[in-house]
Structure 1
């Protein structure tokens, strides 16, 4: 392997002794093969065995997936052995320039150099104390909540409210922490990352790590891409972006008054996403994929909550507490994630470079101690999307370099205040709803 995650042509799987065809991009797109560092791979069968899920790989069918490949994988030595059997040819560099982006090759090279610079500076090395303190935060607040409930139950509304606040913080911060391990950004060992992720998202949060990774990796690979990013699959509830609203309007599809979605959005998605939709989706995923080990981790969460709260609140009171915590947690999660994505470009797959695709679909929120903590450092959404395996405490260190690269290629780097980012959720929903209304009434 070369530096910066690049595939080395002297590796066994790319040895000149191995006969490979020279393939044209037209043939590659037609057969839905994947290109990595100018080498062509047939992933049609392997995609079913891929840890990230079949859809993740097929979303790059007929495209150059070099940047996505190097950004997602931390152990290149391990993944190398899977490439040899599916290698079918090579493509001549620059043989077919993407008509949607005539600087794609140059931008790709600049981004690879930036990634190599980040590695040289040690920005992919995790500060273990940082993550241990965040984990300790969860344990302490969970125990404080259990103590407060045990002492007063429903007897004191202030004590009960403090307990709820502690539990909401635990769930929200656990969500950010499991996200770190899910991105393999803490330990060098992938197995260790996944093990700790299971402890947090399963034992502390009551959700499935495999389910989360399955949908979240798709989001990162093709953010804000229609039919490819699960985070923007809102069905007929909301119309977002500038493409789908007009399409629905012209087809006279009007299941809901979308010109009012900027109002009903706040009473539907934020309070219901985690308590209802995520629970249903998780159960469906576990049953369909037969993930028995994931059910074990969730069982630990259920047993833990039963032991902590049923003696003081009873079964019904514990269920009420569960939904109350999920209600506030869901608001926290939706606000922290959607303000960086929803107001950005939402379109069909244009096969843009990795760098450009991430920049048009994400924006940052200004850095502060509070913003870093409340969002799990996802106020640096741009840097997180460009370097998904980088530990979050290093995002601010690479941000100046990212800004310079954006400036060089005339790509907008958006950074907003928290209030502006929040308002932009309302604004973009309103604009999309009006587009639908105008197209519908033409």
Structure 2
């Protein structure tokens, strides 16, 4: 969940101008005064926490849990109770993301989705309505309080180890790799011409660049790589819009929903893929009982590999991105995405012409699509999918994700998404630190009897096939057993 003004960049609530404005209200100094007179945003947050306040209302969990409707949304963060109903319309993920945690403890997800929670807490203050009664536990009574405490202690340990600090050089080397591949493709066409063998070769180079751009934009969407939020937002728009040709705001909107309720049906949009597929154990039975048959789901595992893997990026996701931009009249994102196509026409148009350059663009997207599809789906489709069970953050993410064994190739090929467990537990952690965290997460799973699934990459790909086949069989059984009504 991200409490922020604009659905942009890395999840930061406010830009630099807003922070300075807040500091000027807090500090009795003129705008433009010396650095000593201006409080840092973090110091300001600490100072505000120390200010005396009126006594707050006390609430029980039973009272809080009643406020879980779209028009009445309360949630708890660090024992403080917030009414976020009026904020929901300004939330980048829309009302649905906030409603997903309404009536629940959101402490861990709040911290997980914000690179700097201290700054965001400044803007939570107007939403504060009370706190948990002293006799109430920190979390709902159905949650494993010891596991929650152990996970929070692990988080503090990782902060002490500075594992949430990004290595700027790592990400610039990644960007340099992408730009080098694109430049090399242009040099090859310029030198060797535009024959079909050359076209296929440069398409493969551009495809690799596009895949690595997807991984880099994924980083930009989660991290505060730069100290100033405006540079984070600009970098994400450059990578997502200019290098990838997708709307950054559309990606942020969808991806936040996926992270806050991973594999929870129907709250996670990444698993709400009907009518194209039925996945998990619940959706197939639901479709079967209702006699829903858009395709023969018994054969969906074949359809996935033959059709869906190739069309996911160029047709489904690309179409949704364009549709959202134009529905919202988001001219800034439209300009960035347009620059992607303009760049291709300027770069390759002189060699191929307009029509063949258009074909080249979509050939690259079709080649890229299976790679992205397998990497993103191998860690979720074979894992637990359920309806809302209100589990703790740690259990939810561990049960809904799995890892792929580490190697230099696997790290590069997956953009470090082979550490999917660590990525979902700590979305704002830079990926070059996942391997350092993995042993600690595995140890915590062992302590509390949770599976820590780590597979060879080929097995992970095969498990997509097997999981889809199993779900198709569940649909077929339910479809045949229940007569039409």
Task: Say whether the 8 Å CA contact 1:184–1:190 is kept in structure 2.
Answer: no
- Choose 338-347 or 16-25, whichever is displaced more: 16-25
Aligned to 2:422: 383
TM-score, normalized by length of structure 2?
0.85
Q: Of 342, 347, 354, which residue of structure 2 is paired with 1:308?
A: 347
Query: Are residue 25 (structure 1) and residue 64 (structure 2) matched?
Result: no
The 5 Å alignment of 1:98-113 reads 98=140, 100-101=142-143, 103=144, 105-113=145-153
In 1, Cα distance between equivalents of 2:134 and 2:93: 28
Q: 1:387 to 1:381 in 2, by over 3 A?
A: same
Asked if structure 1 preserves the Cα contact closer than 8 Å seen for 2:45 and 2:119, the reply is no
CA distance in 2 between partners of 1:161 and 1:400 (Å): 42
The counterpart of 2:176, out of the listed 118, 136, 161, is 136
User: Closer, same or farther in 2 for the Cα pair 1:9/1:138, shift >3 Å?
Assistant: closer
2:95 counterpart of 1:59: no
Checking the alignment, whether the CA contact within 8 Å between 1:248 and 1:436 is kept in structure 2 is yes
Q: Secondary structure at the match of 1:340?
A: coil
Answer with 247-256 or 211-220: which moved more: 247-256
Partner of 2:191: 151
Correspondence for 1:338: 377
Q: Find the aligned partners of 1:10 and 1:159 in 2 and give their Cα distance.
A: 60
**Within 1, Cα distance between the matches of 2:301 and 2:160?**
45
- CA–CA separation in structure 1 for the residues paired with 2:63 and 2:51: 23
SS in 2 for 1:230: coil
Structure-2 separation of matches of 1:47 and 1:70: 18
The CA distance in 2 between the partners of 1:196 and 1:226, in whole Å, is 33
Deviations 1:387-429 (A, max 9, x none): 1010100000000000010011111000000111011000000
Match of 2:131 among 90, 95, 101: 90
Q: For the structure 1 residues 16 and 243, does the alpha-carbon distance in structure 2 shift closer, same or farther, using more than 3 Å as the test?
A: farther
Relative to structure 1, the CA distance from residue 99 to residue 178 in structure 2 (aligned partners, 3 Å threshold; closer, same or farther) is same
| Aligned length, in residue pairs | 433
Counterparts of residues 20-419 of structure 1 (less than 5 Å): 20-32=56-68, 33-92=74-133, 95=136, 98=140, 100-101=142-143, 103=144, 105-155=145-195, 157-419=196-458
Q: How far off its partner does 1:207 sit?
A: 0.9
CA distance in 1, matches of 2:317, 2:293: 26
Matched residue SS, 1:232: coil
Q: CA deviation at 1:222?
A: 0.7
Instruction: Note the residue ranges of structure 2 that are not aligned, 5 or more in a row.
Output: 1-43, 69-73
8 Å contact kept, 1:150–1:309: no
Q: CA deviation at 1:136?
A: 0.4
Alpha-carbon spacing, 1:158–1:9, altered in 2? closer, same or farther (3 Å): closer
Q: What SS is found at the alignment partner of 2:130? A: strand
**CA 1:13–1:335: 2 relative to 1, 3 Å:** same
Separation in structure 1 between the aligned mates of residue 361 and residue 221 of structure 2, nearest angstrom: 24
The Cα offsets for residues 160-207 of structure 1, whole Å up to 9 and x where unpaired, read as 222111100110000000111110252233332221111111111111
Q: Distance in 1 between matches of 2:166 and 2:107?
A: 24
| Matched residue, 1:4 | none
Q: Closer, same or farther in 2 for the Cα pair 1:394/1:93, shift >3 Å?
A: farther
Encode CA deviations 1:47-86: one digit per residue, 9 max, x unaligned: 2212444332222111111000011112233212211111
Say whether the 8 Å CA contact 1:364–1:414 is kept in structure 2: yes
2:17 — aligned with what? none
For the 8 Å contact 1:185–1:390, the answer to whether it is kept is no
Q: What residue number does 2:29 align with?
A: none
Structure 1 residues not aligned, in runs of 5+:
1-7
Aligned partners of 2:402 and 2:453 also within 8 Å: yes
CA distance in 1, matches of 2:450, 2:47: 35
**Deviation of 1:367 (Å):** 0.2
> Normalising by the residue count of structure 1, what TM-score does the alignment of the two structures yield?
0.94
Deviation at 1:24, TM superposition (A): 2.1
